Structure 1
Amino acid sequence: MIPVQGFDGQKVAVLGLGRSGLATAAALRAGGAEPLCWDDSPEGRARAEEAGYSCRDLTRHGAFEEVAALIVSPGIPHLYPRPNQVISAAMEAGVPVDNDIGLFFASWATDDFMRYDQAPRTICVTGSNGKSTTTALIHHILEEAGRPTQMAGNIGRGVLDLEPAENGEVVVLELSSYQTDLARALTPDIAVFTNLSPDHLDRHAGMGGYFAAKRRLFAEGGPDRAVIGVDEPEGVYLANQIMMGRNDDRLIRVSSARKLGDWGWSVYARKGFLSEWRKGKQVASIDLRDVTGLPGAHNHQNACAAYAAVRALGIAPRVIEQAFHSFAGLPHRSQTIAEKRGVRWVNDSKATNTDSAAKALEAFPNIRWIAGGLGKEGGVASLSEHLGAVKKAYFIGHSARDFALELAVEHEICETMEAAVAACARDAEEGDTVLLAPAAASFDQYPNFEKRGDHFAQLVDALPG
């Protein structure tokens, strides 16, 4: 773990005792602090006490006496739509509020760094869509290049659960807006902004607040290099705020929609080809069309962002290209799980809204589409313009009939995943893609999107080869 620096001999309150909260308590203790833990749920408090930590009711009057700081788990609101009562009490008492990301950046560098031939680096990835894939892809490329690397944050491990840095190591962190919004220290070496679309708007009081939370990674952090997706206005604005001129190569622009060759340093994908340009000249190109782990324009944007981040570390294009081909993709995100009798089966159970489902529908030909679940506010009519490759839809779950009414596409009401997979196996022809991209939440039939995707994969695995 990363021992937290700066609180030796002091009491530090920890609010929220999930994965990151317990890792924070352990890291505080390792750094000489006394963690005082609290969670609204008795189960959370019991876990902390079983691990040997003291619990203090942070809702009672005077709870913050002699407390040096309050460390908050990311899911707990500190401002909008209204502050949690414990956070309000800490602020009223003049106690600094932080999260594990802030503690990580305040504690990551140690005296050991002075003895290393190559200083450890951090790459942080934020944005609305593609964060997890981009983070995992950067980590995979570094592994394939033989660089020591760890991955954490909003994916995998809590940041304070990482091991202390080795010589030349690169830590890759996925950071959500909840994490960047509150962290008191943000000092990445390389920061990546993938894109922006509406999400978590109640937590940030609208799009402006949501973008401001993402922007903090660049405005507060001052990274040595910034990789910015410029396919939305917010990305264009952020790039403009960072650059000192057109040829400023501290900034790498990324696009999956247009050519960017006139800028100082850019990486873009068009018609399935990734191109790197520097000072008006193309310096590298990669054919992404046969990279099975990165299908579709949205994944090509992820590939461009990851490519740019590791190029900023000096990784060679040919090494990156080889790593692209060995990248299996993340579970439940446009993941090819089987090819049987000439039919490709793809699990994109993570496509829980229309925006992500639209990207999946644009990524494959000859689609037999499994969709439905617990429908979201606003319906799915916006998907009508993305159905050009859909041969037939197979609707499941609570919203099956609503989807059928909203979308003018040949369809079958299947209700269950079992029935949908069986119907697709019956209908699919060689060259077809069976795509699970639900455009709905899973909670009508499954506890989460992972269980839904796992069930789909199990059913596909049981089909004859």
Structure 2
Amino acid sequence: MIPVRGYTGRKVAVLGLGRSGLATARALQAGGALPLVWDDSPESRARAEAEGFAPFDLTRNAAFDDVAALIVSPGIPHLYPAPNAVIARALELGVPVDNDIGLFFRSFATRDWDGFDQMPRVICVTGSNGKSTTTALIRHIVAEAGRPVHMAGNIGRGVLDLPPAEDGTVVVLELSSYQTELARALTPDVAVFTNLSPDHLDRHGGMGGYFAAKRRLFTQGGPDRCVIGVDEVEGRFLANQMSVAPEDDRVIRISAAARLEGPGWSVFARKGFLSEWRKGRQIASIDLREMPGLPGAHNHQNACAAYAATRTLGLSPRLIEGALASFAGLPHRSQLVGEAEGVRFVNDSKATNVDSAAKALQAFPRIRWIAGGMGKEGGIVSLQPHLGAVAKAYLIGHSAREFALQLAGTPHEICETMDQAVARAAEEAEPGDTVLLAPAAASFDQYPDFEKRGEHFTALVAARLAGRH
């Protein structure tokens, strides 16, 4: 646990008692603060009571008397489309609103660090797609190098649940736009921006607000190194803002779409090869094509980001190459879950929007595509340019018929359920095919979350493959 500093003897309100909220309450208490906890959900309040925290109704009059700050969980709207009523009241009264990420950066460094031989480092990863894989990949590389490393934030555990730093500890945080937008302190040693595509626009008042939330990770605290994906104009703009000269190697530009030029530091992937260039010279090259945990151009972008971030720690290209090769991938993200008779089965249940589905559809040469669920605005019309490798689509869930109308000439079948889709795709698959779950839709029509959807797909594949032996 990271005890929160700066609030000894002060009341601090905590709104939202999920994983991060409860961790925040514990860390505040450990630091000598008096946490006042609240959640609209009776079940969440009961969990807090079981840990010894008496719920304090933050909606009542005078709830903020003598309160030093309000700490908010990331799922609670604080600005758009409208602030939560408790947050709105705090804003009216001038009570500072923060989150656990801000508290972490205020509290992580301690005087104990004066005795360390190697200073702890914090690497933060944000962006629209690939954050989780990039974060996990950085953690894997650092672990392979033998350094103490922890992963937290939007993946794994709450940041304040982390243990205090040891000599040489590396902390890798995945941060969503909700987290970067609200944190009052953001001071990573290395900040990573993977890419940007439309998402959460209602929470940020449009694309400009969404980008501004991500950008705060770089402009708020001034990281020592920036790793920035420049395949979109926003990334190119951000890299330009963070550089003071073309040769400024505090900024590492990364790309999975183009060969990067210029005298600065860059890492890019083309035709399956990762290249590192610095001061106009190539430093290293890595063949990514046969690395099973990193299929497709989108994962090659993740590899570039992780490679660049870990190079800033002084790790060698050869060590990083070995770690990339041994990375098994994350569940539900281009995860190979089975293979038989030349047919691969890949679980990309996390592909809940068309942008992430497009990346998955470009990763394999011939695809039996399982798609559908609770479709988002616009459906899958924008995927038309990316359907060239699809031999046939097997459509499930609420939007199956809508998706069928948008597939034009692509062969397809309405299967309704995952069971039927897996059975039909497996029956028709030929050697060299990939049966790919990349739904391009939310899961809530049939599953509580994308994880449960991916687990069902994986279980069906396992049962089917077991029946062949």
TM bucket (normalised to shorter chain) is: over 0.9
Aligned to 2:459: 458
Q: What is the match of residue 350 of structure 1?
A: 350
Q: Return the alpha-carbon distance in structure 2 between the equivalents of residues 244 and 348 of structure 1.
A: 39
The answer for the alignment partner of 1:411 in structure 2 is: 412
Matched, 1:434 2:439: no
Unaligned runs of 5+ in 1: none
Q: What CA distance in whole angstroms lies between the structure 1 residues aligned with 2:141 and 2:271? A: 23
Render the CA deviation track for 1:192-235: whole Å, top value 9, x for unaligned. 00011111111111111111111111001200000000000100
Larger deviation: 209-218 or 409-418? 409-418
* 1:11 and 1:34 in contact (8 A); partners too: yes
| 1:266 correspondence with 2:233 | no
**1:445 counterpart residue number:** 446
Deviation string, structure 1 residues 4-58 (Cα, Å, up to 9, x no partner): 0011111111011111000000000000111010111122211111111122111
C-alpha distance in 2 between matches for 1:240 and 1:333: 31
Q: Please give the secondary structure, in 2, of the residue aligned with 1:54.
A: coil
AA matched with 2:444: F
Q: How does 1:333-372 map to 2 (within 5 A)?
A: 333-372=333-372
- Deviation at residue 394 of structure 1 after TM alignment: 1.2
Partner of 1:85: 85
1:55 partner SS: coil
Contact 1:128–1:195 (CA under 8 A) maintained in structure 2: yes
1:164 maps to a residue whose letter is: P
Deviations 1:341-368 (A, max 9, x none): 1111100111111111111111001111
Of residues 82-91 and 275-284 in structure 1, the stretch that sits farther from structure 2 once superposed is 82-91
Determine whether 1:316 maps to 2:298. no
Aligned-pair CA distance for 1:409: 0.8
Cα RMSD over matched residues? 0.9
Per-residue CA shift, 1:105-157, capped at 9, x if unaligned? 00000011000001100000001110001000000000111111000000010
**Partner SS state of residue 276, structure 1:** strand
- Per-residue Cα deviation, 1:160-190 (whole angstroms, up to 9, x for no partner): 0000000001000000010011111100000
Q: Is the 8 A contact 1:147 1:170 kept in 2?
A: yes
Contact 2:186 2:221 survives alignment (8 Å): yes
Question: For residues 171 and 60 of structure 1, what CA distance do their matches in structure 2 show?
Answer: 38
Alpha-carbon shift at residue 93 of structure 1 (Å): 2.0
Q: How much does 1:95 deviate?
A: 1.5
After superposition, the C-alpha distances for 1:30-88 in whole angstroms (9 at most, x for unaligned) are: 00111010111122211111111122111111111111111111111111111111112
> C-alpha distance in 1, partners of 2:317/2:346?
28
Count of matched residue pairs: 465
Conserved in 1, the CA contact under 8 Å of 2:247 and 2:262? no
1:44-55 matches, within 5 Å, as: 44-55=44-55
Aligned match of 1:302: 302
> Which AA in structure 2 matches 1:411?
H
Letter in 1 for 2:457: F
Aligned runs of 1:27-42 on 2, under 5 Å? 27-42=27-42
In the TM superposition, residue 263 of structure 1 has moved relative to its aligned partner by: 3.2
Query: Is the CA contact (8 Å cut-off) linking 1:261 and 1:281 kept in structure 2?
Result: no
Q: In structure 2, what is the equivalent of residue 97 of structure 1?
A: 97
**8 Å CA contact 1:35, 1:54 repeated in 2:** no
Alignment of 1:240-279 (within 5 A): 240-279=240-279
Tell me how far apart the structure 1 counterparts of residues 456 and 41 of structure 2 sit (CA, whole Å). 30
Partner Cα separation in structure 2 for residue 418 and residue 83 of structure 1: 41
Q: How does 1:207-222 map to 2 (within 5 A)?
A: 207-222=207-222
Question: Percent of aligned positions with the same letter in both sequences?
Answer: 75
Give the secondary structure class of the aligned counterpart of 1:266.
Answer: strand
Offset at residue 410 of structure 1 (A): 1.0
Query: 2:81 and 2:14 mapped to 1: Cα distance?
Result: 21
What TM-score, normalized by structure 2, do the two folds share? 0.98
Deviates more, 1:79-88 or 1:12-21: 79-88
In the alignment, residue 426 of structure 2 is paired with which amino acid? A
Aligned ranges 1:109-148 → 2 under 5 Å = 109-148=109-148
In structure 2, the gaps of 5 or more residues are none
Q: Which amino acid aligns with 2:208?
A: G
